[in-house]
Structure 1
Amino acid sequence: MIMKLFQYPRLIVSFRFIFLGMLFSLLACQEKIQPDVLPIGDDGQVFAIDVGDSEIPYLVINTNGADIPFEPRIPATLKIYEGKKLKQEQRIGIEFRGKTSFRLSQKKGFNIETIDGTGNSVNVSFFGLPEEEDWRLVGHVVNLQEKYMWDQTLMYNDVGYELSRSIGKYASRTRFVELEVNGEYLGVYSFMEKLKRDTHRIDVKSLNANSTNLSGGYILTIDKTSVGDAGIGKPLSYFYSNWDDDARYTPENGFRSQYDIFGNLIDFEPYGPPYHANMYLETYFLYEYPKDRNITPAQKEYIFRYMHDFETALLQDDFSKGERSYVAFVGLESFADYFIINELCRNVDAYRLSTFLQKDRNGKLEMGPVWDMNIGFDQGDRIPMNGWVMRYNNFVSNDPWMIHFWWPRLMEDPEFRKLIKQRWTNYRNGPLSDIALTRLVDKNADYLEKNGAVQRNYAKWDQGIGVNYPDAVRNLKNFLTQRAAWMDGEIMGF
């Protein structure tokens, strides 16, 4: 056959030209389409995934090969792209965040701090939000080993915080983003403000060691404890199993109420070992501002005494006789609004965990802001649809973190119930109407879906779980309208 081909040299030449022509055409075609195939930013940054012409900001974090610890933060660079165009570049410090969510989820959250060239913190604005140095990247919980996922809609926190802002209460402002860390695409996250003292966030007066007016401002939390400085230098593996550190209360990080969850004086010593037999009876108030390393003994004594006097008044007032001395200590409207938002969202952690309180200088104790709703809404299976979250103790026994006596006691006050009814009725005619609730969910879902972020996120994370995003969105809307209807019936009877 080969010999026969040599008898026809023109045929060989023809084949050669045809082959070369095809090769050049292929190369030319490849060269022509290459810029559209490779996901490259306008600065030459190669993305881990092609986001097309998505309007959702795409964040690229690079630690230059260093492993991210739980703490302390390590230096990194953050780039923010919109439509593959670099919009902002910033030096940051980064670490993992979360307690239970960190241990359970393969989709980790991050704390980031904006820093300058020398590593010092610097206030920076992102997405038009007020300047600050501390920010959060929060994703939904995905457990690939046990095949479960919290918040398949990707928006629980965003919806809850927006509902709070819609009734005039500050909550962390958020932006949907897609995140890449060290070349790995991690999916949809909420980029959000850290809750901290700031004129644009929790707006209480500053308080330092030289302050002569001890009345404020203070920020307290009811929450699990953080490992703090004790965790520095420990390997990352330690943080996957350090459950005891969640319940390691000390005189340095906070103080215990002198009353138990039933309103009885506690007759055993505080600061026992984690998960001791009577821990479920205790409620601790942690120092958020001033931080435990900064708060002075005089400030500790002031806020401890203020909280004790409030609790004592609440317990001793005889509502049937019109006694309501406890209102001298609290801004009751904030308590009513905190109740309304957390109950509407069926936030299982409300009142007992991730709970913020604040007291401004010369002001009263206020509840909020709301925080951490990843097991709220239709995910909150410990509380039935027709049950109050503030009645958590009726549904769950001996949880290490139960609900303090405040809320059942407050509901015994007819004036507090009346206040809730007034405010709920007003909100239902506006920001918490069925139309407003469903419109908010649809707005977020449409934004994520039309930009392809839902598909990209679940191509990464739906590994045998079986996510149906339209169903998840529909279930969230149904939950909100049904929960609101149930609350209508209950509150109208207050």
Structure 2
Amino acid sequence: EAASSEPTGLPIIYLNTENNSEIASKDEYINGNIRVVGGRNFPSLELMDMEIRGRGNSTWEHPKKPYQMKLDSKQEFLGMAEDKKWLFLAEYSDKTMLRNRMAFELGYLSSLAWTPDTEFAEVYLNGVYNGTYHISQKVEEGGDRVDLGDSGFLLEIDQLERLDQDDVSFNTDRYLVNIKEPELVLDDAQYQYISRYINEFEDALFSANFANPTTGYAAYINIDSFVDWFLINEIVKNVDAQWWSSIFFHVIPGEKINMGPLWDFDLSFGNVDYADSQYAQGWWVRDNEWIERLLDDPAFVQRVKTRFAYFKSKQTHMLNQIDDYAAYLQYAQAENDDKWQTFGEYVWPNPVFFDTHQEEVNYLKTWFTNRMTWLDGAIQTL
């Protein structure tokens, strides 16, 4: 199934695996090569060796698969800063294909240290058109990604059943924390240090004098990063950000804990049917235990109010961005649907589904508008 001759305006990525092998594993890379035809707006990439594997949790179960690709050497990719690893997000259950991108747009507007850069592309796999993909930088350590210096840690609140066998994690009283980077040995000095430090922070946060600016939680965290992480995840009502997964934070020894980076927003902006995060009204991430406790401090609440006013001032910008991206994907999303035929069909976990891309986009815009209206009132009552 080739794409039709209708040019979509997106760059085209040709992925080929050795012996046309299927990409069947999330653990084992298979060898192959890649070529990018950038067209007018993007740099091309000459044929280059790569390795590729599956990725994702719930998203891996869909027929259109997400991938992680590792290039032979660090390369700029579709104009994004050079690196080896690139993620191919399928955006199968988000029929707008825009939820991850719009959450990241909020990240670009925020004070968070780094938010992944992304571009859309058409992908051919072993000569067969495989749809429109959202190509993203990976959440990992690096000078132009998560800057951990020489000794920092990238951490993720996660679930035991989601861990890989070689993952190293520790527990606080409230969460399981997976050490994403660096690769550690259980109970070595670095492990002892970071598990103790995060537990000390949590103990301070839940202590009687938690609001004391020198001995309370403020001694441990970059407060602005917690405010922005909370507000962005609350605005889009990211289902996983309450306590489940993809809750990233990072710390360099001797410095404060930073929340972020943002990750995994396909089940946000109302695209979920198994949780109250479906609705534009109501709190969600406020019930994260760390956030809930921080909001017991009037000084933190005041920062949240001030910062929400800033994000509220960006509402029109965000709605315009949605329209711009929807127009940009006008042809690509149609080609993608010719291949995958999801419009008008239930795809887990859609609460509603529509016959056209524009109707999906309108639902996203209406949901976002209603969300900002509700929060504008609710935040005043904190």
- Would the TM-score normalized by the shorter structure come out above 0.5? yes
| Alpha-carbon distance between aligned partners in 1 of 2:211 and 2:202, rounded to the nearest angstrom | 18
Give the Å deviation of 1:86.
9.0
For residue 143 of structure 2, the aligned residue among 178, 184, 199 is: 199
Q: Spell out, residue by residue over 1:344-378, the C-alpha distance to the aligned partner (whole angstroms, 9 max, x if none).
A: 11101114211111002421111001100011002
Q: How does 1:88-487 map to 2 (within 5 A)?
A: 88-89=45-46, 90-103=48-61, 105-115=62-72, 122-141=73-92, 150-169=93-112, 170-207=114-151, 217-224=152-159, 245-246=161-162, 253-257=168-172, 259-260=173-174, 283-292=175-184, 297-318=188-209, 325-352=216-243, 353-381=245-273, 382-383=275-276, 384-391=279-286, 403=288, 405-429=289-313, 432-433=314-315, 435-449=316-330, 452-462=331-341, 465=345, 467-487=355-375
SS at 1:201's partner residue? Answer: coil
Letter in 2 for 1:255: F
Higher strand share: 2
Give the percent of matched residue pairs that are identical in Structure 1 and Structure 2.
28
Aligned residue pairs total 364
Give the Å deviation of 1:256.
0.9
Partner of 1:60: 14
| Alpha-carbon distance between aligned partners in 2 of 1:181 and 1:290, rounded to the nearest angstrom | 33
| Alpha-carbon distance between aligned partners in 1 of 2:109 and 2:295, rounded to the nearest angstrom | 24
8 Å contact from structure 2 (residues 43, 79) kept in 1: no
Out of 376-385 and 170-179, give the one that drifted further: 376-385
RMSD of aligned C-alpha atoms? 2.4
Letter in 2 for 1:389: W
Partner of 2:35: 79
| Alpha-carbon distance between aligned partners in 1 of 2:3 and 2:12, rounded to the nearest angstrom | 10
Q: Which has the higher contact order (CA 8 A, sep 6+)?
A: 2
Give the Å deviation of 1:168.
3.7
8 Å contact from structure 2 (residues 233, 285) kept in 1: no
Give the Å deviation of 1:322.
8.1
Give the Å deviation of 1:481.
1.2
Partner of 2:351: none
Q: Spell out, residue by residue over 1:12-41, the C-alpha distance to the aligned partner (whole angstroms, 9 max, x if none).
A: xxxxxxxxxxxxxxxxxxxxxxxxxxxxxx
Stretches of structure 2 that go unaligned for 5 or more consecutive residues are 346-353
Q: Spell out, residue by residue over 1:93-151, the C-alpha distance to the aligned partner (whole angstroms, 9 max, x if none).
A: 00011112212x10100000001xxxxxx21111221111111000123xxxxxxxx21
Q: Spell out, residue by residue over 1:167-193, the C-alpha distance to the aligned partner (whole angstroms, 9 max, x if none).
A: 243211000111111122121111110
Give the Å deviation of 1:490.
1.1
| Alpha-carbon distance between aligned partners in 1 of 2:57 and 2:320, rounded to the nearest angstrom | 32
8 Å contact from structure 1 (residues 314, 326) kept in 2: yes
| Alpha-carbon distance between aligned partners in 1 of 2:21 and 2:80, rounded to the nearest angstrom | 29
Letter in 1 for 2:171: R
- Give me the TM-score of the superposition, normalised by structure 2: 0.89
8 Å contact from structure 1 (residues 345, 480) kept in 2: yes
Letter in 2 for 1:331: N
Letter in 2 for 1:53: P
| Alpha-carbon distance between aligned partners in 2 of 1:248 and 1:65, rounded to the nearest angstrom | 28
Indicate the structure (1 or 2) with the bigger Cα radius of gyration.
Answer: 1
| Alpha-carbon distance between aligned partners in 1 of 2:211 and 2:200, rounded to the nearest angstrom | 21
8 Å contact from structure 1 (residues 205, 361) kept in 2: no
| Alpha-carbon distance between aligned partners in 2 of 1:371 and 1:482, rounded to the nearest angstrom | 23
- Give me the TM-score of the superposition, normalised by structure 1: 0.69
Q: Spell out, residue by residue over 1:451-481, the C-alpha distance to the aligned partner (whole angstroms, 9 max, x if none).
A: x111101111115626321111111111111
